[in-house]
């Protein structure tokens, strides 16, 4: 089964109440966000968590992976040896990672605080499951993320990845490493990119990352490469001179899986009559949607509507998935043999809101519909390479066959984008 959830979390021991002894209240946003991430991971019925930690034994080349039937650790180094955590290891996944990841080595030691801090909140939320911990790769984190994604597909249980890491340690003079101009710049780059275009995070200059005193940049890059998602930042703060960011990077959804089943069934049988629509509450909503197909990261088909035309979202997705694969005039119809290398996402549209100027648009938050001379053009939000409202509207005009200088009526809308 592919990944079902991933998150990026900080690991300051002070947020553990037994260690903070009241000081943890100074990072209340982080605490609240941590508990929300833990709640959502439990809600996702995750059976195994893979941690990537910058405080495990690091190698100049390759990674270390903890081995053992039981993985355990404590906070003795932070003055509270009585706070101990222990979880069963996952021998099969550990061995698969060690065998298939480049320069991977099995290692025996206690859990480090990069894993212990998030595990504290997972246990508090009631999570019980198997555990794997590996070190953060210092080189090629995207390669490791891609390879881990392939390895996880060979396992039947529901697996989550938690990338552990603080951001800059150089945000304030009174912080643990003092202040460096690159510190705030680094954190701003990461936070802004994650909210808009996550691919920009890997383009951070290494000099800036080093000067900023980061410790989680590479674990974040690995997690982002593991599975495309629509990241959501739950909190960011730096009360002690260190940047703490809590972010959900990916959560699986049944919507794209239904789209895949509909398209695959249609391609193989020429009909979807034998399929039983899902009964989930989310499928019963009446919403417009778009279904997008990608192959090798490149667009392979995209069809949708600005208004719902069918009884429910299940029917809307079924129709648009088949159309995206067979009716998009920009591409040859998709063949069954392509489906294993094709990814699917579903955009569910919110309410349309009439606007009067470009100032009311944000191409990363809002999609846009333009209308003029009886023609309509739509562009979804959060598309790589489209950074301004003017670019967004111009492309929507081109799709409608309208001249760039023509006046148009504009509407904006928000979407929820769901990935497999």
Query: For the segment 184-229, what is each residue's pLDDT rounded down to a tens digit?
Result: 999 999 999 998 889 999 999 999 999 999 999 999 999 999 998 8
Polymer length in residues for the chain: 420
CA distance 49 to 238: 27
Closest CA to 41 of 246, 191, 258: 246
Residue % of the chain over a pLDDT of 90: 90
Q: So what's the pLDDT on residue 283?
A: 95
Q: So what's the pLDDT on residue 107?
A: 92
Closest CA to 37 of 192, 160, 187, 153: 160
Which secondary structure element, helix H or strand E, spans residue 53, and what is its range? strand 48-53
Q: What is the 3-state secondary structure (H, E, C) of 59-104?
A: CCCCEEEECCCEEEEEEHHHCEEEEEEEEEECHHHHHHHHHHCCCE
First to last CA, the chain: 11
Please say whether the beta carbons of 119 and 41 come within 8 A.
no
Paired tokens of 88: 């069963």
Which secondary structure element, helix H or strand E, spans residue 298, and what is its range? strand 298-304
Q: How confident is the model at residue 1 (pLDDT cuts 50, 70, 90)?
A: low
Query: For the segment 11-26, what is each residue's pLDDT rounded down to a tens digit?
Result: 999 999 999 999 999 9
Counts for the chain of helices (H) and strands (E), in that order: 11, 18
Query: For the segment 154-184, what is each residue's pLDDT rounded down to a tens digit?
Result: 999 999 999 999 999 999 999 889 999 999 9
Residue % of the chain over a pLDDT of 70: 100
Query: For the segment 55-71, what is each residue's pLDDT rounded down to a tens digit?
Result: 999 999 999 999 999 99
Q: How confident is the model at residue 109 (pLDDT cuts 50, 70, 90)?
A: very high
- Whole-number mean pLDDT of the chain? 94
Please say whether the beta carbons of 373 and 408 come within 8 A.
no
Q: So what's the pLDDT on residue 146?
A: 95
Q: So what's the pLDDT on residue 359?
A: 93
CB atoms within 10 A of CB 28: 13
Arithmetic mean of pLDDT, 105-120: 96
H-type helices in 112-271, by residue range? 113-124, 141-152, 182-195, 206-211, 217-226, 254-269
CB atoms within 10 A of CB 350: 14
Please say whether the beta carbons of 375 and 401 come within 8 A.
yes
CA distance 148 to 98: 11
Q: So what's the pLDDT on residue 195?
A: 87
Paired tokens of 165: 């890491």
Q: How confident is the model at residue 115 (pLDDT cuts 50, 70, 90)?
A: very high
Q: So what's the pLDDT on residue 383?
A: 84
Query: Residue 89 forms beta bridges with which residues?
Result: 131
State the chain's maximal CA–CA distance in angstroms. 73
Q: So what's the pLDDT on residue 89?
A: 97
Q: How confident is the model at residue 279 (pLDDT cuts 50, 70, 90)?
A: confident
- Which whole-number Å values give the CA distances from 323 to 9, 31, 304, 318, 368, in the listed order? 39, 45, 8, 9, 22
Q: So what's the pLDDT on residue 385?
A: 82
Please say whether the beta carbons of 389 and 321 come within 8 A.
no
CA distance 96 to 92: 6
Closest CA to 289 of 312, 273, 269, 265: 312
The label of the residue with tokens 């936070």 reads 191
Q: So what's the pLDDT on residue 306?
A: 85
SS3 32: helix
CA distance 231 to 196: 9
């Amino acid at each position: 089964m592919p990944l079902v959830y991933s998150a990026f979390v900080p690991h300051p021991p002070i947020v553990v109440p037994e260690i903070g002894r009241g000081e943890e209240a100074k990072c209340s946003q982080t605490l609240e966000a941590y508990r929300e991430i833990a709640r959502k991971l439990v809600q996702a019925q995750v059976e195994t968590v893979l941690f990537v930690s910058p405080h495990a034994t690091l190698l100049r080349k390759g990674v270390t992976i903890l081995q053992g039937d039981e993985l355990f650790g404590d906070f003795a180094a932070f003055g509270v040896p009585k706070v101990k955590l222990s979880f069963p290891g996952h021998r099969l996944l550990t061995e698969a990672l060690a065998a298939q990841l480049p320069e991977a080595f099995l290692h025996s030691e206690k859990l480090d605080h990069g894993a212990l801090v998030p595990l504290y909140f997972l246990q508090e939320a009631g999570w019980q499951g198997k555990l794997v911990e590996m070190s953060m790769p210092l080189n090629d984190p995207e390669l490791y993320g891609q390879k881990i994604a392939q390895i996880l597909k060979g396992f039947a249980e529901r697996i989550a990845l938690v990338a552990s890491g603080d951001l800059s340690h150089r945000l304030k003079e009174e912080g643990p490493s003092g202040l460096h101009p690159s510190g705030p710049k680094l954190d701003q780059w990461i936070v802004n990119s994650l909210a808009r275009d996550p691919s920009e995070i890997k383009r951070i200059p290494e000099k800036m990352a080093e000067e900023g005193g980061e410790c989680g940049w590479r674990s974040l890059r690995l997690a982002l490469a593991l599975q495309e998602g629509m990241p959501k930042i739950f909190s960011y703060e730096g009360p002690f001179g260190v940047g703490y960011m809590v972010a959900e990077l990916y959560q699986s959804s049944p919507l794209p899986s239904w789209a895949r089943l509909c398209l695959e069934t249609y391609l193989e049988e020429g009909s979807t009559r034998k399929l039983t629509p899902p009964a989930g509450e989310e499928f019963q909503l009446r919403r417009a949607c778009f279904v997008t197909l990608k192959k090798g990261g490149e667009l392979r088909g995209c069809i949708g509507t600005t208004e719902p035309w069918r009884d429910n979202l299940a029917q809307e997705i079924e129709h648009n998935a088949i159309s995206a694969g067979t009716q998009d005039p920009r591409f040859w119809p998709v063949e069954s043999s392509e489906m294993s290398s094709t990814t699917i996402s579903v955009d569910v549209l919110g309410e349309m809101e009439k606007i009067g100027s470009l100032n009311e648009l944000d191409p990363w938050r809002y999609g846009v519909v333009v209308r003029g001379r009886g023609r309509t053009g739509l562009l979804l939000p959060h598309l790589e390479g489209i950074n301004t409202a003017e670019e967004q509207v111009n492309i929507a005009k081109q799709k409608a066959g309208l001249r760039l200088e023509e006046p148009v009526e504009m509407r904006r809308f928000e979407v929820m984008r769901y990935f497999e």
